[in-house]
Structure 1
Amino acid sequence: MTGPLPPSVRRGYAAGSVATGAFGTVPGLLLLPYLTDVVGIGAAIAGLIVFLPKAWDVVIDPFVGRISDRAADRRGRRPFLLWGGLLLAIAFALLFAGPTGVPALSGVYVVVLFVACATAFTFFQVPFMAMPAEMTDDYDERTRLMTWRVVVLALAILVSGGVAPMLVNAFGGEPTADGYRVMGVFVGLLIVAGALGAYLGTARAPERRRPAAAGSIAEQLRIIVQVADFRSLLLTFVVQALGIGALLAAVAYGAKDLLDSSLAATLLFVAFVGPALVVTPFWERVAARRDKRHGYVLASVTMIVGMLALLVAHTGSLVLTCLAAGVAGIGYAGAQVFPLAMLPDVAGRDAERSEENRIGVFAGLWTAGETLGMALGPAIFALVLAIGGYLSSTEGEVVVQDDGTRLAIALGFSVLPALLVAVSLFFLRHYRHDSEREEVAREHR
């Protein structure tokens, strides 16, 4: 069994979360309002535009995982971090730099550039997700590695999710096309920093290379979906991603239409993500004292309580809404640490048993599921907006939403994500890896 990783490797790997945090946060937070409130596209169509490129991502993720498995046996997965991250940064900066005068043309432009972003992100994210299972086979070390990653992820989300709305509003106090363009360049630079940090920082990381599994991608997927623990973990994580995606999409609307504050989106983000900088080590201790599955359940229940409390936003109280977001954020920190630490446990055990490397396909299917959840979340919230009668607008146009629409926004901001996270726990009941590990440990004692 490998020993603890050098701290420099933990920090280097965690640096990749700057790229994943920025790209995973900002489109879900700002792309939908960019389409509805700057370009002037209707909510339902805008939700479809946000979803379609993600659907493409879902299709190619397992194939990219297969490509990275074959490359891992020869030159490792690190080169994907470099060029995948740099291409993602360029595509993201261009995403918000298109025309805004003709809604149809703008919509086509966004779809094309978002597909480019999604493709580049896949070539970064899938190898990045696969690396921990090959860097160490120590159960507790994987939790420590993910603790570092989630702390950096939280910092990246705070910076990107907090600063990006401020840049969007930097020209006149309201969202403008110029503000979105500046924001795109800023986030692109964050992605470059994360990609370079991960590539350089993992140069000394151990690599356990195995021959890539034989057979077609379809055969590998059939094998993977038959792994009960992976199936349970993936379904849990995907349904939670639906809830988190819906919540992220709702933040801008809650800030504007419920809390009536241009700074509310930034403050809510700080309240939601900030606790991870403090409480993530606590979740690591929970895993050490009990196990990762119990910690995941406790974190999810905490997140549900906080999400339900977000309904207070309907009263217009920014302080109470931020407090509720803080409770949800405490749970969110654990709900990131545990599944990310459990995935390499499951994928690594499969590699040990089969003596074949399909870890990249595991990571590809995982990334596809997460992408699907984070894409469908905003689409579901967009449907809630459409049902609630949300009135879209163009840049400079002021629209006041009626009481029914404001209630729809409040429910989409609180009850909807809480319900989805609650449903996800049904699937986690079937996860058995930690129980089997305890039985083995007792036998050795």
Structure 2
Amino acid sequence: MQHVIQIQAHIGMMYLLYFGVGILGIPFWLIAGKRIGKHRAFCVAVAVSSLSIIGMFFLQAGQLLPFAIMFALKGFCFAAFQFLPLSMLADIVDLDTARSKEHRTGLFFAMSGMAHKLAMAIGLGLSLGLLALVGFDAQAAEHSDGQLMALRVLYILGPVMLYMTAFAISWRYPLTSDRQERIHQWIVRRNRRLGLASH
């Protein structure tokens, strides 16, 4: 979007703002996850981030302040995307431990890391391929209106569609905090029994 809004000279500052606000948002999302549930807090972050991205679609060249506000809002949600899914994964590990009676934490987190890297590779390759398809060259001095509109659509439509898919899946996430707590306590009691039996 930096080519659409024409803020190339400020892009470093924008990312500093993005990650800075994201770090400040960590406590908020952790508290929200405890109060309304991790999956619901994640859904809120998805909705807010989607709205900020959609808002960017209507920005015109040179509108630095509105872009900074929306980009900061998107960065604020970045913390939720980094921490809440991992916390939810830890809950899933507890559920698997209760069902399988095996500790496979490493397997789950390895699969998560692999899926994350695969998603990044696919996303990067797909976005670069689509940009090349519409004839967009980031190094070019000027871009046509059609190329800039294609960039807007790719930046907005793709992520928002994926966000809404994640929202629909996460909203129905069955492993609530109450259920996870019962599972965790069951595992603790079972481990105590096994510990006593081994002596």
Relative to the length of structure 2, the TM-score reads: 0.79
The answer for the alignment partner of 1:363 in structure 2 is 109
Q: CA deviation at 1:375?
A: 1.5
Aligned residues, how many? 184
**Which of these residues, 22, 25, 41, is aligned with residue 295 of structure 1?**
41
Q: In structure 2, do the counterparts of structure 1 residues 270 and 407 end up closer, same or farther at CA, with 3 Å as the change threshold? A: same
Q: In structure 2, do the counterparts of structure 1 residues 423 and 316 end up closer, same or farther at CA, with 3 Å as the change threshold? A: farther
Instruction: Give the Cα–Cα distance (whole angstroms) in 1 for the partners of residues 175 and 103 of structure 2.
Output: 19
Give the RMSD, CA atoms, in angstroms: 2.5
Q: Which runs of 4+ in 1 moved over 6 A?
A: none
Equivalent pair of 2:55/2:70 in contact (CA under 8 Å): yes
What letter corresponds to residue 387 of structure 1 in structure 2? Answer: L
Equivalent pair of 1:304/1:418 in contact (CA under 8 Å): yes
Q: CA deviation at 1:365?
A: 1.5
The answer for the alignment partner of 2:64 in structure 1 is 318
Equivalent pair of 2:52/2:74 in contact (CA under 8 Å): yes
What letter corresponds to residue 371 of structure 1 in structure 2? Answer: K
Task: State the percentage of identical aligned residues.
Answer: 22
What letter corresponds to residue 431 of structure 1 in structure 2? Answer: Y
**Which of these residues, 36, 46, 52, is aligned with residue 306 of structure 1?**
52
Q: CA deviation at 1:354?
A: 2.6
What letter corresponds to residue 151 of structure 2 in structure 1? Answer: I
Q: In structure 2, do the counterparts of structure 1 residues 311 and 349 end up closer, same or farther at CA, with 3 Å as the change threshold? A: same
Instruction: Give the Cα–Cα distance (whole angstroms) in 1 for the partners of residues 42 and 23 of structure 2.
Output: 18
Instruction: Give the Cα–Cα distance (whole angstroms) in 2 for the partners of residues 295 and 439 of structure 1.
Output: 18
Q: CA deviation at 1:263?
A: 2.9
Where 2:135 maps in the other structure, the secondary structure is coil
Q: Which runs of 5+ in 1 are unaligned?
A: 1-253
Where 1:272 maps in the other structure, the secondary structure is helix
Q: Deviations over 1:1-43 (max 9, x none)?
A: xxxxxxxxxxxxxxxxxxxxxxxxxxxxxxxxxxxxxxxxxxx
Equivalent pair of 2:4/2:152 in contact (CA under 8 Å): yes
Matches within 5 A, 1:149-228: none
**Which of these residues, 421, 428, 433, is aligned with residue 170 of structure 2?**
428
Instruction: Give the Cα–Cα distance (whole angstroms) in 2 for the partners of residues 356 and 438 of structure 1.
Output: 17
Q: Which runs of 5+ in 2 are unaligned?
A: 184-199
The answer for the alignment partner of 1:412 in structure 2 is 154
Relative to the length of structure 1, the TM-score reads: 0.38
Q: CA deviation at 1:270?
A: 2.4
Matches within 5 A, 1:103-122: none
Q: CA deviation at 1:385?
A: 1.1
What letter corresponds to residue 55 of structure 2 in structure 1? Answer: A
